[in-house]
Homo-oligomer: A and B are copies of this chain.
């Protein structure tokens, strides 16, 4: 039963398990106490901090352990913004950051600050000079992920850090997806990460704040972790997190190369095996273990369910799998197809056979879902019967509006238009994406009584 969602949470690394068990008996006492149990706990905490700092590439006294990666981002952003309050209350971030960064930006906005989202290209990458142009005199902090969690694209962190450093703006790097693979290069100022992404236990994040970075912890604090992470230290989990970080790093080069080849195989095979599919994200500058693709005429939730039944656990950024009914902000910012989205992220140890099994199953699963939804099987065969057509897909959810469009495009002559009425948020992204994939012309969106009218001109 292969689990292919390591980017959500990785199974516990054997070293993490060992270290956790060993330190349950040694690390439960309060490390601030003077008696032997306390001193022992403090020694474990110190050693874990040293190991983690070495892996991050910072000094031990620059690093604190938080209760999660999310908490590290929240505390890091809030503390850095507050530390530079005099400079201003402006935040720069990429449009494809993790929700923890977006929520931090929302919290800033609720307090009267503002932020600028730097757009990304179709691969999901920011342009460092464009990022630099977003920096203002009142910019207190800049945030950039090391690599994207949904599509795997690596960001130009070192170049962006250089530009930020020259502008005197601290850069916080969300390294949650990449820290298990390598240290983050360049002159970053703050760094956040999450242990359960690299096979450590849940309950441990880390926040590094370089010496010299102005930082004022927000909210109620206490004296633990330099006042930057309140609450009793979770030492057994911290020890396990540090030990597994060291362990995955030792394996990173070989395992990274192996998984990179497996992902390469998936990237190539998906396009060949599944019709009407778009593989997204940078094919080269990417995380070794992650690949994302979107399938036309398919809804993500049903695909996930069918893949789960077939024994494969994957994730999706499609709106039909989310409770918010809005498609992934990452795919939206990239301007790529959001329907039928599937993210495959391989945990360490994934075998050739498991990947082969997935590729065996995938085409049938997608075809089955398409059949159920009545998706057009191939190019439109029917003769042109109307000069133009209006399709009413109001009240229908993704991927129905695109399916209805594809079904009738052949019924108008080349040069004729199909107008799709839709109130589904995903249609705004997926109709233009469909046009790009099928080489039809996307004319544009017009307001309608309900939802919007999306106009498409048949080109071939």
Q: Decide: A28 near B9, CB < 8 A? Known: A100-B222, A232-B69, A301-B34.
A: yes
B34, B219, B232: the one within 8 Å of A107 (CB): B219
Give min CB distance, A235 to chain B, whole Å: 7
Tell yes or no: A408 within 8 A of B by CB: no
Q: Let me know if B36 and A308 touch, CB within 8 A.
A: yes
The interface bits of chain A over 402-432 (1 if a CB of B lies within 8 angstroms of the residue's CB, else 0) are: 0000000000000000000000000000000
Q: Which B residues are CB-close (under 8 A) to A68? A: 67, 230-232, 234
The answer, yes or no, to whether A286 is at the interface (CB within 8 Å) is no
Q: Which residues of B contact A222 (CB under 8 A)?
A: 70, 99-100, 103
Query: How many residues on chain A are close to B (CB under 8 Å)?
Result: 67
B17, B25, B236: the one contacting A202 at CB < 8 Å is B236
Is A106 located at the chain interface by the 8 A CB criterion?
yes
Copies in the complex: 2
Contact between chains at B35 and A313 (CB < 8 Å): yes
Give the residues in chain B near A69, CB-CB below 8 Å. Answer: 231-232
Interface residues of A in 176-213 (CB under 8 A from B): 194, 196, 201-203, 205
Asked if A248 CB lies within 8 Å of chain B CBs, one says no
Residue among A5, A11, A220 facing the most chain B CB atoms (10 A cut-off): A220
Q: Kindly state whether residue A304 has any CB partner on chain B within 8 Å.
A: yes
- A325 to B: closest C-beta gap in Å: 13
Q: Indicate if A94 sits at the interface (CB-CB under 8 A).
A: no
A296 within 8 A of B: no
A410 shortest CB reach to chain B, Å: 35
Q: A74-B220, A222-B100 known; A12 and B33 CB under 8 Å?
A: no
Q: Are A308 and B35 in contact (CB under 8 A)?
A: yes
Chain B residues lying within 8 Å of A196, measured Cβ to Cβ, are 28, 232
A residues in contact (CB < 8 Å) with B? 1, 3, 5, 8-12, 17, 20-21, 24-25, 28-30, 33-38, 67-71, 73-74, 77-78, 99-100, 103-104, 106-107, 194, 196, 201-203, 205, 218-223, 230-237, 301, 304-305, 307-308, 313-315, 321, 323
Q: A74-B220, A201-B234 are in contact. List 19 more A-B contacts (CB 8 A).
A: A3-B29, A3-B35, A9-B28, A9-B30, A11-B29, A28-B202, A34-B301, A35-B314, A67-B67, A67-B68, A67-B71, A68-B231, A70-B231, A70-B232, A78-B220, A103-B220, A106-B220, A201-B236, A205-B231
